[in-house]
């Protein structure tokens, strides 16, 4: 135990994912065992700081048994930015800047440093607090895997498990019924889950926002499979997949409504190929359940590294996985812009090499 006991706070923000509880547990264990710190859990993202009386100390007892549990014992929200907090009064919603109330809450609770576990949205708020003088250390968390400066984010490997298992399952039905099965995965801007789970699950076609797809190209891939006696096709599609905005001649093309790519594709394939087609939307299933071993270990490493960074007063930084090492990078550098799948990405190149179609052939 050190002489100078510190008090730190922990915030989980944005969509929940497997591994948050493992990270919270690691922070509590590393903070208390190594340094004798007091660790305070902030409920429901930053909004818990507005009402400091709702914050509770995190102890060995209160974090017992949470390692394998999905979700976050702290609660979270992705709709309550303290800099633009939605307030409902007399049936009308207005927006208030509650950031000073948060900072006041931090002061009242005696919190010297805040470890914030979140994705783009949450870390943008964290960075804004950092600029207001709050001592922040960040842990990158999002199943979308779209933060800069880290090889991977917490939650991605677990989401990959669920999505890959879904692709495996849909193969049975696709093959038995000679159908085209389209499985829509999360990823509005970045196609990481669809790329990885599609590759892992042996999808025949993968459609991601980074590579606009042509319906004719997808249909051609299905036809080539039929010619080889493969009467079924499995397509992994990110929710943000889209078609080119202009044709080769530069003329504008009709657009699918945002998030409607899977439906648009289903109808188009049915019409052009007279095949049975079905869409499955994984949705929130991708967020739930026990974290994978890799995510549990990453959570432990990120949690212990964040405690270490606080101990060294390394504020304004985010822990990040780089190769086999945990490093510290500026939060601002990690969150903007969203990290997209690079067209030179090795997994993307591999997927092409083993014959997966990205709907972009002419």
How far is it, in rounded angstroms, from Cα 128 to Cα 46?
Answer: 12
Restricted to residues 83-102, the positions that interact with its own copies (CB under 8 A) are 88
Provide the minimum distance between the beta carbon of 208 and its own copies in the complex, in angstroms, as a whole number. Answer: 15
- 75 part of the interface to its own copies, by CB under 8 A: yes
- 76 part of the interface to its own copies, by CB under 8 A: yes
- 212 part of the interface to its own copies, by CB under 8 A: no
Provide the minimum distance between the beta carbon of 287 and its own copies in the complex, in angstroms, as a whole number. Answer: 5
- 353 part of the interface to its own copies, by CB under 8 A: yes
Restricted to residues 132-151, the positions that interact with its own copies (CB under 8 A) are 151
336 is catalytic: no
How far is it, in rounded angstroms, from Cα 27 to Cα 291?
Answer: 17
Closest CA to 72 of 32, 13, 116, 26: 13
DSSP 256: P
What string of DSSP letters covers 88-118? Answer: EETTEEEEE--HHHHHHHHHHHT-SEEEEEE
How far is it, in rounded angstroms, from Cα 181 to Cα 175?
Answer: 9
Could you say which of 49, 160, 222, 328 contacts its own copies (CB under 8 A)?
160
Name the segment binding its own copies (CB under 8 A); options: 114-122, 124-132, 135-143, 172-180. Answer: 172-180
How far is it, in rounded angstroms, from Cα 70 to Cα 158?
Answer: 10
Nearer to its own copies, 128 or 169 (CB): 169
How far is it, in rounded angstroms, from Cα 332 to Cα 316?
Answer: 8
Provide the minimum distance between the beta carbon of 22 and its own copies in the complex, in angstroms, as a whole number. Answer: 9
How far is it, in rounded angstroms, from Cα 44 to Cα 300?
Answer: 22
- 259 part of the interface to its own copies, by CB under 8 A: no
CB 329, CB 197: distance < 8 Å: no
Task: Pick the catalytic residue from 16, 44, 81, 144.
Answer: 144
Nearer to its own copies, 100 or 172 (CB): 172
Nearer to its own copies, 142 or 199 (CB): 199
Could you say which of 38, 141, 242, 301 contacts its own copies (CB under 8 A)?
301
> CB within 8 A of 30, min separation 6: which ones?
303, 304, 307, 308
Provide the minimum distance between the beta carbon of 138 and its own copies in the complex, in angstroms, as a whole number. Answer: 18
In this structure, what token pair is assigned to residue 121?
């949205």
Closest CA to 295 of 258, 321, 330, 317: 321
Could you say which of 224, 272, 280, 338 contacts its own copies (CB under 8 A)?
280
- 355 part of the interface to its own copies, by CB under 8 A: yes
* x/- track of binding to its own copies for residues 308-327 (CB under 8 A): x-------------xxxxx-
- 30 part of the interface to its own copies, by CB under 8 A: yes
- 33 part of the interface to its own copies, by CB under 8 A: yes
Q: Is the peptide bond before 139 cis (omega within 30 degrees of 0)?
A: no
- 300 part of the interface to its own copies, by CB under 8 A: yes
Name the segment binding its own copies (CB under 8 A); options: 99-107, 118-126, 129-137, 273-281. Answer: 273-281
Number of residues that bind its own copies (CB under 8 A): 89
CB 8, CB 310: distance < 8 Å: yes
Closest CA to 14 of 99, 102, 96, 121: 121
Residues labelled as active-site residues: 144
């Amino acid at each position: 135990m050190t002489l100078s006991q510190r008090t730190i706070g922990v915030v989980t923000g944005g969509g929940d994912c497997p591994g948050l509880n493992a990270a919270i547990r690691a922070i509590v264990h590393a903070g208390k065992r190594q340094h004798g710190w007091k660790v305070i859990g902030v409920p429901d993202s930053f909004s818990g700081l507005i009402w400091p009386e709702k914050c509770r100390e995190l102890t060995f007892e209160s974090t017992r048994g949470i390692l394998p549990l999905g979700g976050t014992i702290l609660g979270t929200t992705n709709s309550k930015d303290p800099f633009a907090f939605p307030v409902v009064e007399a049936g009308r919603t207005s927006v208030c800047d509650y950031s000073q109330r948060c900072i006041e809450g931090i002061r009242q609770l005696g919190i010297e440093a805040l470890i914030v576990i979140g994705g783009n949205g949450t870390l943008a708020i964290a960075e804004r607090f950092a600029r207001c003088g709050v001592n922040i250390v960040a842990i990158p968390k999002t199943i979308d895997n779209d933060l800069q400066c880290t090889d991977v984010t917490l939650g991605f490997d677990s989401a990959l498990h669920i999505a890959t298992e879904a692709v495996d399952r849909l193969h049975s039905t696709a093959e038995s019924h000679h159908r085209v099965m389209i499985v829509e995965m999360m990823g509005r801007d970045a196609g990481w889950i669809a790329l990885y789970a599609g590759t892992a699950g042996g999808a025949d076609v993968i459609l991601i926002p980074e590579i606009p797809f042509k319906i004719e190209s997808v249909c051609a891939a299905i036809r080539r499979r039929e010619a080889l006696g493969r009467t079924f096709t499995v397509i992994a599609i990110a929710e943000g997949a889209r078609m080119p905005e202009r044709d080769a001649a530069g003329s504008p093309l009709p657009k699918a409504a945002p998030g409607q790519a899977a439906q648009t594709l289903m109808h188009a394939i049915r019409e052009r190929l007279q095949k049975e087609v079905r869409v499955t939307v994984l949705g929130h299933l991708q967020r739930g359940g026990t974290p994978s071993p890799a995510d549990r270990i990453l959570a432990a490493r990120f949690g212990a590294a964040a405690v270490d960074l606080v101990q060294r007063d390394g504020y304004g930084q985010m822990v990040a996985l780089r190769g086999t090492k945990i490093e510290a990078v500026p939060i601002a550098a990690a969150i903007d812009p969203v990290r997209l799948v690079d067209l030179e990405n090795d997994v993307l190149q591999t997927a092409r090499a083993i014959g997966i179609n990205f709907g972009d052939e002419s």
